[in-house]
């Protein structure tokens, strides 16, 4: 992997545009990738919790999945049962 200045600038400008001063979890992974660092695997499902269906989860291997809420107003997911 190599440093991707354009992706990094896009990420940071989006955070500032939303008037935030913290990155969301998936943005941390995007930052690592833009910096040329490995970040592991992730899948982001945008939308309402009802969008997560058995049919959607069956696309992924294994018999267990971990779902985490992503919200700019919820920084500590475990405090609200978001994991």
Closest CA relative to residue 2, chosen from 32, 40, 42: 32
Nearest-angstrom CA–CA distance, 24 and 71: 7
Give the pLDDT score at 9.
94
Give the pLDDT score at 83.
58
Give the pLDDT score at 46.
65
Q: Which residue intervals of 39-80 are DSSP H helices?
A: 54-57
Q: What is the biggest distance separating any 2 CA atoms in the chain, rounded to whole angstroms? A: 39
Over residues 65-75, the pLDDT tens digits come to 777 777 777 76
Tell me 2's DSSP state.
-
Give the pLDDT score at 51.
81
Nearest-angstrom CA–CA distance, 53 and 67: 12
Binned at pLDDT 50, 70 and 90, residue 81 comes out as: low
Give the pLDDT score at 75.
67
Nearest-angstrom CA–CA distance, 23 and 69: 14
Q: Say whether pLDDT at 10 is over 70.
A: yes
Q: Say whether pLDDT at 30 is over 70.
A: yes
């Amino acid at each position: 992997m190599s440093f991707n200045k354009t992706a990094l600038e896009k990420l940071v400008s989006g955070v500032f545009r939303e008037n935030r001063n913290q990155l969301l979890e998936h943005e941390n992974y995007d930052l690592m990738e833009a910096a040329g660092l490995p970040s592991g695997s992730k899948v982001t499902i945008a939308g309402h919790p009802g969008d997560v269906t058995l049919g959607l989860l069956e696309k992924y291997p294994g018999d267990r999945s971990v779902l985490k809420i992503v919200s700019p107003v919820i920084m500590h997911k475990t405090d609200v049962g978001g994991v």
